[in-house]
Chains A and B, each alone.
Chain A
Amino acid sequence: EDQVTQSPEALRLQEGESSSLNCSYTVSGLRGLFWYRQDPGKGPEFLFTLYSAGEEKEKERLKATLTKKESFLHITAPKPEDSATYLCAVRLNAGNMLTFGGGTRLMVKP
């Protein structure tokens, strides 16, 4: 069965304290891995798509990487406004829908 697992479930950081969020997946035929950010009361907001192992993408303080079994979202020197739930989702060769992980709730304290 296709599975996407995110860890940790929650993460508290001090402003400026860099860390990484993990998304591990067990799927047959990965067509793409997506990272989204979700703020309370809002829908998921697209951040990155990764398609093949070794690929990396960056946006401001965020950097996403992909291996054959997992993806990491690295947050460098986070700020309080980076506080949100970060969602990982995979798109498989069979079908167009996304299979989501449970998310990591990130809290950055000033």
Chain B
Amino acid sequence: EAGVTQFPSHSVIEKGQTVTLRCDPISGHDNLYWYRRVMGKEIKFLLHFVKESKQDESGMPNNRFLAERTGGTYSTLKVQPAELEDSGVYFCASSQESKGGVAFFGQGTRLTVV
């Protein structure tokens, strides 16, 4: 069974540019989550999709962040325009309640804004 896949693994962009991160969850997982770890801090929740619907976006830092989940499959997280403080590692996770709700994580996208 393929795991959670994230693209790209690394991204370096200039302040003010736009970046789009992609996450392909485990097939059949209805729940998809985005998390972020900034330097020296713990991993923090950003938002949660159930299929194509946003269930909880209470962790999104501001309106420069836009997440979508097309047809309940893959998800994208766009940052526009990027600021220096957006640098960090962005993780995607997916889960299925019928399998205990355990969240399985992708390898992360390291975003550096310069």
B76 to chain A, nearest CB (A): 18
Cβ contacts under 8 Å, B102 to chain A: 34, 46, 49
B105–A43 CB distance below 8 A? yes
| Chain A at the B interface: SS class | strand
Cβ contacts under 8 Å, A4 to chain B: 42
Cβ contacts under 8 Å, A29 to chain B: none
Does B65 have its Cβ within 8 Å of any Cβ on chain A?
A: no
Interface residue count on the B side (C-beta < 8 Å): 25
Q: A42-B108, A46-B102, A96-B56 are in contact. Are A103 and B45 (CB under 8 A)?
A: no
> Chain B interface (Cβ within 8 Å of chain A)?
4, 31, 33, 35, 41-45, 48, 55-56, 59, 91, 93, 95, 100-108
Closest 7 CB pairs of A and B: A43-B105, A97-B45, A100-B43, A102-B42, A44-B105, A100-B42, A43-B107
> Chain A interface (Cβ within 8 Å of chain B)?
4, 32, 34, 36, 41-46, 49, 87, 89, 91, 95-103
